[in-house]
């Protein structure tokens, strides 16, 4: 064995320690399954062994399955379809993907008591292993998280998780836990009965062994005669109060775009009517089907494999030694600057927060104090954690305090003159090795770098709002940006636990170009007379998390008008549809509706009440449709327009070498502006449809709605050759 170590004490209790030598965290691989299978057999067959405790030799218990194993299974399946046919290929996926579930059931029915001693975080298949054990003890560690997050990568728990959870929790709670993929703290897990006991770390194994010595039974509750489901039967009063509303909520939240979410609903519903062994086979059949779905393949590739590559520094220059960032400067204590200071301090960095005067700088830090105090009041943070974080932030108006910072991030008002003035003040005091970054969302980095004495040390680091919640950071390379600046930016982003994408300099960079295409499409639909509610709902049906008009309110309708005018000034009249410009002018200048910031935009935001579409909005549309015309609108076409408008713009940025890595294009589209996650991202959406079909759809929409849907030369060429982005532009893996 290499992944596990076995020790049997004088009481005949086996201590199995999971500690993979070549991994920073234990994960489930084929080798692990093989070794654990052998251990289950040994414990079951050796009369000298009275029971087993399984724990980890690492800080965490298990990160879940190595999803590259499942990804490779998909490739083998595709090859088998060609060589042996669909039936044989599907059987292969079922046989392979059900091995873990069958192993856990063998453990559960081994006749010997098993205790899982959770010394740290356990996710996915690792937590399913814990659920299959007869008793679960967790160490009292505030960092530990327990959960089944498979839904977030287009899968669902396929090693018994759905069936054991629904036999521990009432169906409504089980469904919520499975469909949200929540990560629980140990005290919450104990309250939900997913964990039996929480003890100090140094008492963990001792407590686990004591349970076996005290006569712990080698029998799961659901295997005991007379067992009753915690929420009653499906066809009961309680069941009827759960499943019909659960179906409605599922539809409202997913619009049936996620096969894995539908499968969870189905396996829970069916499993509650079956004995555990039959229910586990049902789960395995559905899991094998979901594993073969294009949505799962795309989401695993983008949200696990590719995101992991980017987080580990796939784009970091190999020739630059690791930077050791200790102190950073943030200039601009407004909403964005304060947010950058917060996430930096949370990562353990010392932060100097500078603004034009002491009062403004203090106001920025005070805003952080209030926001985090709200979290303390809600039990999401401890007061000591808040105070420790704020201690790392020094608010000041003195630029000289930036002199020993390794990295300085400018986050002042989005105005070229203001930024140029701030750049001069900063470069006058910082060292000759410090890296300078601008948090700009619209201004070209190359032109801003011209104001700096050494453009090779100048880079763009574009955060998304709100900084503490948005996981993507866009790194913008100016024409003269050097490797040291890029490496420092990527090291900083890794330190604050966010995901970077590296893009080349252009108007709007990558994310803003694509999201503006999404918002523009909603404006043009509105000008065609399509009701605002239909626009918002069809976008959500297409898979977007937020309707485009709502998103426009969040980003600022006045900012949208400013961007349109700046675009027109730089690129010439006619580049912006005049009717779209007039719509925003009417909203901003005539009606004073700037968006959420002043409580009125496309929506009204009454205090303490849900937002509502502004009743006067329809009057701004130059075209009025009859009820019959509205009912005749093709909703499927509206959905296509939203996704194609964004995807074709993403393809253009790729052709123009703004974004140069397919991994970054897809990850950036989901994390940056929420492109329908079930597709795997903007370029994966094209690949999933097939470039030939996508180009044909583009041309159809172009003929009907205009040149914004025109496919580029590269797309047309790929369609003719039958190529996809992820085959033609597959990134080369770094050598291990």
Whether the pLDDT of residue 373 is over 90: the answer is yes
Question: Percent of the chain at pLDDT above 70?
Answer: 99
**What is the pLDDT at residue 9?**
96
**Separation of alpha carbons 192 and 505, rounded Å:** 50
**Separation of alpha carbons 491 and 57, rounded Å:** 28
- Nearest CA to 633 out of 707, 531, 524 is that of 531
**Separation of alpha carbons 116 and 17, rounded Å:** 11
* DSSP string for 530-592: --HHHHHHHHHHTT-SS-HHHHHHHH-HHHHHHHHHHHHHHH-TTSS-HHHHHHHHIIIIIS-
Beta bridge partners of 114: 52
Known catalytic residue at 462: yes
CB neighbour list of residue 271: distance below 8 Å, 6 or more residues apart: 162, 163, 166, 279, 282, 283
DSSP 443: S
Whether the pLDDT of residue 557 is over 50: the answer is yes
CB neighbour list of residue 226: distance below 8 Å, 6 or more residues apart: none
* DSSP string for 280-331: HHHHHHHHHHHHTSHHHHHHHIIIIIIHHHHHTTTTS-TTSPPP---EEEEE
**What is the pLDDT at residue 734?**
56
What's the mean per-residue pLDDT of the chain?
A: 94
Q: 0.85 cut: is pTM over it?
A: yes
Whether the pLDDT of residue 636 is over 90: the answer is yes
Beta bridge partners of 17: 5, 55
| Helix 99-108, helix 125-132: angle, nearest 10 | 30
Domains defined along the chain, listed by start: 4-292 (3.90.226.10), 327-505 (3.40.50.720), 512-657+661-728 (1.10.1040.50)
> Two tokens at 717?
């060429």
Q: How far apart are the first and last CA of the chain?
A: 23
Could you tell me which residue, 457 or 563, shows the higher pLDDT?
457
The tally of CA atoms less than 13 A away on the side-chain side of residue 585 is 9
Whether the pLDDT of residue 439 is over 80: the answer is yes
Question: Do 371 and 377 form a contact (C-beta atoms < 8 A)?
Answer: no
Mean of pLDDT values over 543-571: 90
Mean of pLDDT values over 144-151: 96
Whether the pLDDT of residue 735 is over 70: the answer is no
> Two tokens at 233?
């039967």
Min mean pLDDT across 81-95, 139-153, 225-239, 593-607 is at 225-239
pLDDT tens digits along 670-682: 999 999 999 999 9
**Separation of alpha carbons 111 and 51, rounded Å:** 9
**What is the pLDDT at residue 36?**
98
| Interior/surface letters 132-141, b for 16+ CB within 10 angstroms, e for the rest | bbbbbbbbeb
Determine how many CB atoms are found less than 10 A away from the CB of residue 432.
Answer: 8
Determine how many CB atoms are found less than 10 A away from the CB of residue 334.
Answer: 15
Active-site hit among 462, 523, 657, 726: 462
Mean of pLDDT values over 474-498: 96
Helix (H, G, I), strand (E, B) or coil at 321: coil
> Two tokens at 729?
């532009």
Beta strand 603-604 with 499-504 is unpaired
pLDDT tens digits along 81-104: 999 999 999 999 999 999 999 999
Strand residue runs (E) in 575-651: 603-604, 612-613
Beta strand 122-123 with 183-184 is unpaired
Question: What are the φ/ψ torsions at residue 4 (nearest 5 degrees)?
Answer: -125, 155
**Separation of alpha carbons 244 and 302, rounded Å:** 33
């Amino acid at each position: 064995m290499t992944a596990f170590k076995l020790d049997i004490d004088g009481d005949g209790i086996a201590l199995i320690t999971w500690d993979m030598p070549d991994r920073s965290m234990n994960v489930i691989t084929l080798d692990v399954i093989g070794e654990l299978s052998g251990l289950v057999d040994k414990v079951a067959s050796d009369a000298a062994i009275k029971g087993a405790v399984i724990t980890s030799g690492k800080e965490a218990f298990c990160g879940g399955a190595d999803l590259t194993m499942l990804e490779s299974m998909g490739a083998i399946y595709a090859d088998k379809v060609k060589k042996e046919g669909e039936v044989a290929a599907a059987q292969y996926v079922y046989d392979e993907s059900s091995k873990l579930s069958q192993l856990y059931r063998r453990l559960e029915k081994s006749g010997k008591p098993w205790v899982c001693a959770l010394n740290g975080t356990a996710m996915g298949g690792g937590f399913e292993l814990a659920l299959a054990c007869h008793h679960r003890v967790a160490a009292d560690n505030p960092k530990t998280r327990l959960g089944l997050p498979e839904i977030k990568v287009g899968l669902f728990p396929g090693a018994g998780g759905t069936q054991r959870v629904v036999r521990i929790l009432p169906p409504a709670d089980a469904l919520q836990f499975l469909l949200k993929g929540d990560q629980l703290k140990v005290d919450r897990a104990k309250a939900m009965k997913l964990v039996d006991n929480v003890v100090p770390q140094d008492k963990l194994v001792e407590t686990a062994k004591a349970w076996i010595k005290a006569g712990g039974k080698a029998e799961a509750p659901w295997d005991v005669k007379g067992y009753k489901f915690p929420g009653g039967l499906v066809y009961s009063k309680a069941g009827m109060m759960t499943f019909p509303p659960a179906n409605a909520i599922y539809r409202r939240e997913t619009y049936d775009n996620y096969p894995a979410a539908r499968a969870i609903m189905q396996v829970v519903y069916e499993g509650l009517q079956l004995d555990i062994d039959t229910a586990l086979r049902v789960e395995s059949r559905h899991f094998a089907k979901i594993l073969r779905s294009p949505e799962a393949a795309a989401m695993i590739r983008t949200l696990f494999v590719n995101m992991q590559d980017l987080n580990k520094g796939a784009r970091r220059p190999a020739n630059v030694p690791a930077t050791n960032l200790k102190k950073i400067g943030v200039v601009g204590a407004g909403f964005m600057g304060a947010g950058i200071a917060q996430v930096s301090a949370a990562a353990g960095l010392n932060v100097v927060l500078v603004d034009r005067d002491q009062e403004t700088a203090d106001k920025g830090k005070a805003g952080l104090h209030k926001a985090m105090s709200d979290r303390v009041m809600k039990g999401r943070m401890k007061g000591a954690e808040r105070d420790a974080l704020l201690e790392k932030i020094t608010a000041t108006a003195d630029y000289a305090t930036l002199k020993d910072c390794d990295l300085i991030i400018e986050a002042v008002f989005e105005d070229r003159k203001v930024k140029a003035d701030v750049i001069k003040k900063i470069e006058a005091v910082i060292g000759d090795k410090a890296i300078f970054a601008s948090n700009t969302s619209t201004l070209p980095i190359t032109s801003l770098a011209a104001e700096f004495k050494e453009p090779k040390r100048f880079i763009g680091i574009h955060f998304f709002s709100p900084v503490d919640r948005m996981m993507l950071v866009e790194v913008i390379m100016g024409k003269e940006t050097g490797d040291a600046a890029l490496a420092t930016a990527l090291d900083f982003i890794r330190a604050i636990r966010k995901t970077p994408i590296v893009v080349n300099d252009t108007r709007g960079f990558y994310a803003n170009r694509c999201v503006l295409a999404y918002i523009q499409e909603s404006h043009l639909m509105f000008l065609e007379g399509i009701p605002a509610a239909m626009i918002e709902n069809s976008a959500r049906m297409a898979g977007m998390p937020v309707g485009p008009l709502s998103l426009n309110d969040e980003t600022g309708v006045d900012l949208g008008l400013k961007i349109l005018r700046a675009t027109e000034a730089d690129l010439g009249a006619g580049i912006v549809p005049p009717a779209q410009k007039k719509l925003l002018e009417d909203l901003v200048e005539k009606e004073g509706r700037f968006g959420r910031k002043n409580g009125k935009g496309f929506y009204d935001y009454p205090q303490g009440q849900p937002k509502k579409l502004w009743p006067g909005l329809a009057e701004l549309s130059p075209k009025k449709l009859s009820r019959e015309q509205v009912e005749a609108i093709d909703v499927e076409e509206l959905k296509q327009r939203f996704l194609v408008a964004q995807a074709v713009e993403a393809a253009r940025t790729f052709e123009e070498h703004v974004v140069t890595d397919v991994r970054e294009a897809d990850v950036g589209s989901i994390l940056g502006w929420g492109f329908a996650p079930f597709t795997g991202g903007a370029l994966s959406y094209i690949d999933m449809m097939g470039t030939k079909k996508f180009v044909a759809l583009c041309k159809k929409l172009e003929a009907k709605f205009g040149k914004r849907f025109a496919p580029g030369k590269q797309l047309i060429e790929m369609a003719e050759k039958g190529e996809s982005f992820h085959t033609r532009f597959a990134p080369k893996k770094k050598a291990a």
